[in-house]
Amino acid sequence: VVICNDAGELEGFNVMVGGGMGRTHNKANTFARAADHLGYVPKEDMMELMKSVLASQRDHGNRDVRANARMKYLVHTLGIDNFRTLVESYFGKKVQPWRQTKEWKYMDWMGWWDQGDGKLFYGLHVDNGRVKDEGEFRLKSALRVLVDKYNVDMILSPTQSLIFRDIDPKD
């Protein structure tokens, strides 16, 4: 997690370890797991901390059973405090406590929004990112008409929806 100061300059990172959604069906010794908070590291030390985390997995992870050769199982087995101590033994210094972050709110940007320059943008949800014409539902054709008639730019969002930008309010 990126940590910036009030001026927006990078200060460092809150680091999480040991998460993963993978598991093997009908194998109780494999499981999904949310990551734990390891702590904060200044930007200057980030690469060395990452090397220390990887060295900890390399030297102490379970290599006998491939399904368990994941960091999440090492963190689960040791616990986050013991894992942090192990990482610090490679890192050569203490990992700082997790820094509080500003409250974060997810915005999907669907619907109409002012984009700040007198123009608007519109977010359109697209099921599973599937832009197609199927039966009576003619999304692909409708998008073609909008682009041809109004010359709007489209952006594909991280959630596979569409954002039409630079829309003149008089249109």
Average pLDDT over residues 113-142: 91
Q: Is the pLDDT of residue 72 over 90?
A: yes
Q: How far is C-alpha 88 from the geometric centre of its chain's CA atoms?
A: 25
Q: Is the pLDDT of residue 127 over 90?
A: no
Give the DSSP letter string of 14-54. Answer: EEEES-B----TT-TT---BPPEEEEEEEGGGHHHHHHHHH
Average pLDDT over residues 35-51: 97
Q: Are 166 and 115 in contact (CB under 8 A)?
A: yes
Q: Are 143 and 156 in contact (CB under 8 A)?
A: no
Q: How far apart are CA 58 and CA 79, in angstroms?
A: 17
Q: Is the pLDDT of residue 140 over 90?
A: yes
* pLDDT, averaged across the chain: 91
Determine what percent of the chain is predicted with pLDDT higher than 70. Answer: 100
Q: What is the pLDDT of residues 96-125, one digit of tens each?
A: 999 988 887 888 889 999 999 999 999 999
More confident residue, 101 or 17: 17
Average pLDDT over residues 83-103: 95
More confident residue, 84 or 153: 84
Average pLDDT over residues 138-142: 93
